[in-house]
């Protein structure tokens, strides 16, 4: 072999050796930096885990990456970009509010302060009326209702509303029903008559469009116009459309007092004939004369479930309801536009008829709001929009009447005229014993029937304390203090059960693969602070709330983050 050839081979050997050494070095460095790179985005350690299933707590950690839960249990060598020490705290799935009215306040303030501070990570919207569709006769009244919030509508469909929410961002997730009253008003307006065959087909088409856009089902509010004008057969036909897309039927039933059993039976009939599950909003026994009769309703629903009816309910943990002040009026005076309602209230003859009806009742309207609460003192005014009426917020109607120097009926009518036909009021119509009995039932979930607000929202006035305190009240007052529920069952009602009802298959449990919606609270201090006298108070004892893997409430303070998503129903993927 020549000298030149030997030198070339020697050089080649040295080059291979250098390359091999470099490869080994790179590999060692990669392993070194990989060891330093955290495994997870977020790690919650030291807490007692209540996973939402109803099982007892267990000790362990929850690991989150890319907005999902990836590990739950003993993770002794885990590392993360951020570690939350939950020692002494409960780690639970984020709470799902089965009945919320935050459809538009989330557009006014997407931080959802009063809800996220309760541990709520998902709100179910669209009871009775919904954000879409908005067409025809529905548009003018819809836009009028948005003005106090400073919102300019730029949508006509539910899908376009969802897009608006996504553009602006929210701190909580949302899902929505399509309202039967909404589609009715789009086609018929606020008229008390049955739809023609052609009109019914148009209504069914709107329901179909909405569930394909992501509505989780059909809702109704059968004490409110124009919902109250719909007959059972009409609702069954609309429910059949929602059923085709895997939706449910959720309802504020037609009666919650003397005629509660008949109203429940209507919901059951719509479920069975429509071919879909039924869910009843804010299950209650309304009216002082009916107190103690909750047991009848409980037995009735249990009997329906025993024979195979898929029916569930939700409840807020208070003895007072909140709805429109105008609901003191007989139903026939609520038909038409707000201008028509106001015109009737100005008519002395109509006012005399209203006075008599409230005192003696009307056929089918025995459970009027004033009688159900034992008189005008049982009606507390919650919010007005006109500055001159703000001084009456938080006062009982008999007190308001004295301040106005008028009879309570005249005070009611004059205030409604001043407010354009509508205002909010709280009605003390339920008993504590009935609330507790309902709460113990395994098929009863939790829904606030409240709205995401903050104390600076003057248009909200002095609302029902459920806006600020529903979920902590169940955990603290009814769970810890009164022992009405175990902690694990209270969590189940707020999480996995709610997800089961609404079809949210990736929420409600702390399991690998589920969305990282997590609420961390102190079982010894969690409590509601809002009262009927002073409702503008946030809950306490919930230091951390995480939505889709992002910390929104951090050591009790809102971070300003808006990681919430629109959660669409099964129809969207069909």
CA 76 to chain centre: 37
Statement: residue 20 has pLDDT above 90: no
Lowest mean pLDDT among 26-35, 121-130, 418-427: 26-35
Dist CA 217 CA 309 (whole Å): 17
Q: Is 224 helix (H, G, I), strand (E, B) or coil?
A: coil
Residues with Cβ within 8 Å of 223's Cβ and at least 6 positions away in sequence, in order, are 252, 254, 255, 323, 327
Confidence of residue 27 (pLDDT cuts 50, 70, 90): low
- What count of other Cβ atoms lies within 10 Å of the Cβ of residue 150? 9
**pLDDT number for residue 231:** 98
Q: Which two tokens stand for residue 263?
A: 């109203």
* Helix residue spans in 75-194 (DSSP H): 105-108, 113-116, 138-146, 158-168, 180-188
Give the DSSP H/E element, type plus range, for residue 81.
Answer: strand 80-85
C-alpha 349/C-alpha 337 separation (Å) is: 20
| Number of Cα atoms under 13 Å in the Cβ half of residue 225 | 24
Q: What's the pLDDT at 414?
A: 96
The helix or strand, by DSSP H or E, that contains position 332, with its residue range, turns out to be none
Which pLDDT tens digit goes with each residue over 40-82? 999 999 999 999 999 999 999 999 999 999 999 999 999 999 9
Within 170-246, where are the H helices?
A: 180-188, 197-212, 232-244
Strand order in the sheet with 424-427: 321-324, 424-427, 379-383
400: tokens are 């308001």
* pLDDT at residue 35 greater than cutoff 70: no
Q: Helix, strand or coil for residue 556? A: coil
pLDDT digits (tens, 9 = 90+) for 490-538: 999 999 999 999 999 999 999 999 999 999 999 999 999 999 999 999 9
Are the CB atoms for 131 and 104 separated by under 8 Å? yes
Stretch 97-119: mean pLDDT: 98
| Contact between residue 290 and residue 259 where contact means Cβ atoms under 8 Å apart | no
Q: What angle, rounded to 10 degrees, do the helices at 260-274 and 294-306 form? A: 20
pLDDT digits (tens, 9 = 90+) for 247-302: 999 999 999 999 999 999 999 999 999 999 999 999 999 999 999 999 999 999 99
DSSP 29: H
Q: What is the mean pLDDT of residues 378-395?
A: 96
The pLDDT assigned to 416 comes to 97
b or e along 64-101 (b: 16 or more beta carbons within 10 Å of the residue's beta carbon)? bbebbbbbbeebeebebeebbebeebbbbbbbbbbbbb
**How does residue 369 score in pLDDT terms, banded at 50, 70 and 90?**
confident
- Of the pLDDT bands very low, low, confident and very high (cuts 50, 70, 90), residue 13 is low
Q: What is the pLDDT of residue 18?
A: 46
Q: What six digits make up the tokens of 272?
A: 């069975």
**What is the pairing mode between strands 58-65 and 68-73?**
antiparallel
Which residues lie closer than 8 Å to 14 by C-beta, 6 or more apart? none
The residue whose two tokens read 């929202």 is 457
pLDDT of residue 326: 95
Position 16 pLDDT exceeds 60:
no
Band (pLDDT 50/70/90 cuts) for residue 33 is: very low
The residue-averaged pLDDT of 567-574 equals: 90
**What average pLDDT does range 194-213 have in this prediction?**
98
Give the pLDDT band of residue 573 (cuts 50, 70, 90). confident
Q: Residue 539 and residue 529: Cα distance in Å, rounded?
A: 6
User: In angstroms, rounded to a whole number, what is the distance separating the alpha carbons of residues 34 and 39?
Assistant: 9
Instruction: Give pLDDT, residue 30.
Output: 45
Q: Taking a C-beta distance cutoff of 8 angstroms, is the pair 547, 157 a contact? A: no
Residue 29: predicted pLDDT: 45
**Dihedral (C-alpha) 314, 116, 114, 163: value to the nearest 10 degrees?**
-90
Asked whether the beta carbons of 554 and 521 are under 8 A apart, the reply is: no
Say which residues have a Cβ less than 8 Å from residue 157's Cβ, sequence separation at least 6.
132, 133, 209, 210, 213
Edge-to-edge order in the sheet of strand 173-176? 95-97, 120-125, 173-176
- Helices vs strands, H then E, count in the chain: 19, 21
Confidence of residue 190 (pLDDT cuts 50, 70, 90): very high
Instruction: State residue 23's pLDDT score.
Output: 52
Residue for token pair 């039927």: 249
How many Å apart are CA 245 and CA 241, to the nearest integer? 7
Between 208 and 12, name the one with better pLDDT.
208
Does residue 180 surpass a pLDDT of 70? yes
> Residue 355's pLDDT is what?
92
Residue 360 confidence class, pLDDT cut points 50, 70, 90: confident
The burial of 322, by beta-carbon neighbours within 10 Å (0-12 exposed, 13-18 middle, 19 or more buried), is given as buried
The residue-averaged pLDDT of 550-567 equals 98
Burial class (CB in 10 A: 0-12, 13-18, 19+), 548: buried
pLDDT tens digits, 439-465: 999 999 999 999 999 999 999 999 999
Output the six-digit token pair for 251: 């309802």
Q: How confident is the model at residue 366 (pLDDT cuts 50, 70, 90)?
A: low
This prediction has a pTM of 0.91
Neighbouring C-alpha atoms within 13 Å toward the C-beta of 378: 20
């Amino acid at each position: 072999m020549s000298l030149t050839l030997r030198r070339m081979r020697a050089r080649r050997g040295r080059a291979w050796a250098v390359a091999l050494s470099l490869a080994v070095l790179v590999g060692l460095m990669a392993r070194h930096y990989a060891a330093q790179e955290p495994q997870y985005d977020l790690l919650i350690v030291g807490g007692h885990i209540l996973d939402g299933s109803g099982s007892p707590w267990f000790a362990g950690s929850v690991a989150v990456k890319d907005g999902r839960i990836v590990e739950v249990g003993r993770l002794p060598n885990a590392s993360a970009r951020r570690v939350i020490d939950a020692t002494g705290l409960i780690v639970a799935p984020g709470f799902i509010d089965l009945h919320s009215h935050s459809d538009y306040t989330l557009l006014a303030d997407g931080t959802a302060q009063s809800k996220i501070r309760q541990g709520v990570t998902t709100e179910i919207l669209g009871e009775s009326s919904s954000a879409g569709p908005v067409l025809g006769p529905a548009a003018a009244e819809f836009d009028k209702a948005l003005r106090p919030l400073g919102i300019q509508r730029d949508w006509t469909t539910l899908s376009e509303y969802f897009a608006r929410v996504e553009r602006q961002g929210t701190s909580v997730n949302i899902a929505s029903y399509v309202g039967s009253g909404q589609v009715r008003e789009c086609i018929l307006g606020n008229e008390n008559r049955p739809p023609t065959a052609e009109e019914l087909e148009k209504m069914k088409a709107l329901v179909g469009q909405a569930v394909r856009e992501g509505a989780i089902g059909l809702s109704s509010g059968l004490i409110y116009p124009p919902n109250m004008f719909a007959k059972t057969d009409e609702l069954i036909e609309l429910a059949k459309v929602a059923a085709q897309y895997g939706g449910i039927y959720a309802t504020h039933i037609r009666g919650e007092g003397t005629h509660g059993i008949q109203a429940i039976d209507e919901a059951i009939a719509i479920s069975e004939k429509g071919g879909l599950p039924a869910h009843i909003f804010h299950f209650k026994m309304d009216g002082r004369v009916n107190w103690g009769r909750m047991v009848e309703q409980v037995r009735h629903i249990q009997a329906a479930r025993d024979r195979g009816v898929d029916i569930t309910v939700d409840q807020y943990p208070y003895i007072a309801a909140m709805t429109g002040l105008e609901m003191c009026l007989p139903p026939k005076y609520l038909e038409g536009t707000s201008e028509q309602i106001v015109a009737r209230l100005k008519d002395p003859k109509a006012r005399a008829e209203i006075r008599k009806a409230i005192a003696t009742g009307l056929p089918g309207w025995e459970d009027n709001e004033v009688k159900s609460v034992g008189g005008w003192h049982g009606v507390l005014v919650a919010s007005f929009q006109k500055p001159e009426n703000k001084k009456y917020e938080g006062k009982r109607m008999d007190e308001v009447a004295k301040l106005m120097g008028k009879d309570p009926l005249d005070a009611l009518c004059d205030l409604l005229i001043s407010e354009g036909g509508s205002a909010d009021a709280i009605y003390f119509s339920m008993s504590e014993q009935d609330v507790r009995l309902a709460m113990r039932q395994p098929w009863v979930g939790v829904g606030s029937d409240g709205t995401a607000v903050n104390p600076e929202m003057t248009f909200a006035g002095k609302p029902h304390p459920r806006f600020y305190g529903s979920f902590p009240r169940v955990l603290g007052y009814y769970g810890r203090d009164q022992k009405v529920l175990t902690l694990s069952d209270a969590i189940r009602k707020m999480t996995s059960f709610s997800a089961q009802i609404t079809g949210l298959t990736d929420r409600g449990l702390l399991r690998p693969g589920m969305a990282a919606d997590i609420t961390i609270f102190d079982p010894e201090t969690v409590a509601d602070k809002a009262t009927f006298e002073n409702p503008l108070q946030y809950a306490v004892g919930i230091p951390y709330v995480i939505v889709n893997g992002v910390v929104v409430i951090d050591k009790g303070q809102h971070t300003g983050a808006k990681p919430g998503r629109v959660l669409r129903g099964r129809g969207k993927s069909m």
